[in-house]
Amino acid sequence: MTDTDVARARVPWPIGPVFRGRVYKIIDTTGFFLPILAGNGPPQQGYEPWSGLEVRTWSVNDLLPIPIPGGSALTQTDGSFDITQPPPNASVPSGTSSDVRFALLVAEGSFPYRPLYRSDLSLSVGAAETTDLDIWLLPETIDAKDGMTAGDVSGVLHGSGLPDNTKITVSPSGLSFVGSSEGADVKFGISIVPDTSFELNTFLDLALSSWNINVGWPADWCTNADDILVEIVRGLQSAAGTMNAAVLTKLEQAFAEMEPLLGNVANTFLNSDVSVTFMDLTFPTQYTWPVSNTTDSTVVIAGDICIGYPRHLSSDPSNIPVFKALRLSRALRAVKL
């Protein structure tokens, strides 16, 4: 047991700030980001304190890689926060120290909250306790024309095992699909929400929200509803990766247009310097189109984002656990209609 562990055992909880830092709102994009692009480190101007935000820790123990929510605190008038609750699973029962890494999730408002920032798992608890966890945030409104089109969605899902005659409908609840093939009628819905996991190149989270599958002759000779459902889920898992890659490409294009100072470095900026989180998603219009139409330019999914700096809270971001973090926003299971 370390000296720190002994001290904690003697002092009743809470023991004072374990994690502390400040959250700022960027008000001068050029003045803030130019020093970063020039490699001069955190800027000294172009921002102001942002109060009233919730900062929460999520920790992962390398011996039990399951994300666990930790303590939280609200930012004060000067943007500062103090989280006094130590992260869970700091050691195994035998007293052997384990490597606990954690991420910060910043949100605004009341339930269901508006996510603003998420970090990766590169920072250890030991380093965090001796580091000021300062974060700078820039909310951005994305022009509707830069949203995902019906053709973008079809390009992701066409060929993923859906019947060729499948039609997709977008509505405020997400996407719904209706199709049939050789006696099998398939209906299911997908919810799309901002991703708040530690995988920073995942922006949208897809989950099967409902399904209704009827299998008749001759399809019932070789398949059943459960088999079709498994194929749908497998197709969605593949489509989620493709969709997030498409979102990253669109973000690069939008950034190059919105912020001329980024020029040709938008890709490096988005993948190395900042963390991007969707604050919300909107579905501009109720619209139906065939999954085969990959050129339809109707915008069906839009949203606003928040750019967070720094992307890595650790000074050594290469030291990130190899396990795959669970998605915090993923639905647990499908619900049959």
In this predicted model, what pLDDT tens digit does every residue of 152-172 receive, in sequence order? 888 887 766 678 888 999 998
List residues bridging with 74 in a β-sheet: 54
Q: pLDDT of 220-234, one tens digit each?
A: 666 667 777 777 777
pLDDT of residue 167: 92
pLDDT at 288: 95
**CA distances, 329 to each of 7, 113, 325 (Å):** 36, 12, 12
Between 57 and 321, residue with greater pLDDT = 57
329 or 35, which is more confident:
35
pLDDT band at 10 (very low <50, low <70, confident <90, very high): very low
CB 69 within 8 A of CB 11: no
How close are the terminal C-alpha atoms of the chain, in Å? 53
Check residues 109 and 98 and name the one with the higher pLDDT: 109
The arithmetic mean of pLDDT across residues 186-199, rounded, is 86
Contact at 8 Å (CB) between 287 and 298? yes
Tell me the mean pLDDT in the region 186-210.
Answer: 85
| Residue 48: predicted pLDDT | 95
Mean local confidence (pLDDT), 45-54: 92
% of the chain exceeding 70 in pLDDT: 72
pLDDT band (50, 70, 90) for residue 299: very high
Answer whether residue 323 shows pLDDT above 50: no
The C-alpha atoms of residue 36 and residue 43 are separated, in whole angstroms, by 7
pLDDT of 77 > 80? The answer is yes
d(Cα 310, Cα 133) in Å, to the nearest integer? 10
Q: Are 63 and 92 in contact (CB under 8 A)?
A: yes
> How high is the pLDDT of residue 306?
92
**Three-class SS state of 253:** helix
